[in-house]
Structure 1
Amino acid sequence: MRDRILELFGGQSRPLNPADFRAAPRNKLGEEEAEYLESGEVLELADVLEVMYALAELDGVGRTELEDLQAQKAAERGSFAARLWWEPPST
């Protein structure tokens, strides 16, 4: 859960054990993705990004390093700027 949720909306919190703490952002990612796909609002992508940063942190990767990895992968494989769709060769 986001750090300020209780402050903003009330409710309760409980500590998570390590396994649940690791699973929580994975579940949240699917929830945030679904919200974006349903609404199409760019603001929802900010939530997706926040969850991705949290997942990277669980693996010991900070925001800057994650963005560096993304840039490296884009340099190696390209980005989505050309708006192409790949169709694998038929066998």
Structure 2
Amino acid sequence: MEKLVRDLIPSIIEALGRVPKYRTLKAEDYGNALIDKLFEEAREFRYATPEVRPEELADVIEVVRALAAHLGLTDADLDNLAADKRVERSGFEQRFWLE
């Protein structure tokens, strides 16, 4: 099971009496691992039950924030970029599906 995990996961595994095998990724590998993680979390959100979806969405947001930080963006920077994009092209409230 090779994948990017949250920072406390190795400690949690140790607390369960197991020995985790892990390494710290180089910056370029970390960026790619975050992209893979984003797809993983989006897939989990897609197939989650309605009760679990809010938690899965929070996981997606956590990965997006980590990606933003990796790119040198703060949460405020990301919010501003999203707001600018919303002004330029709007959001998804009208649920238009282009055919």
User: What TM-score comes out, normalization by structure 1 length?
Assistant: 0.83
Matched, 1:83 2:87: no
Consecutive unaligned residues in structure 2, runs of 5 or more? 15-19
2:63 matches 1:51: yes
Q: Which moved more, 1:18-27 or 1:6-15?
A: 6-15
Aligned to 1:27: 36
For residues 22 and 80 of structure 1, the distance between their equivalents in structure 2, rounded to whole angstroms, comes to 28
Higher relative contact order (CA 8 A, sep 6+): 2
The Cα offsets for residues 25-63 of structure 1, whole Å up to 9 and x where unpaired, read as 011011101100111512111111110111111111111
Give the alignment's Cα RMSD to 1 decimal. 1.5
| 1:7 maps to 2:11 | yes
Q: Partners in 2 of 1:80 and 1:57 — Cα distance?
A: 25
Q: TM-score by structure 2 length? A: 0.77
Structure 1 ranges of 4+ moved more than 2 A: 6-13
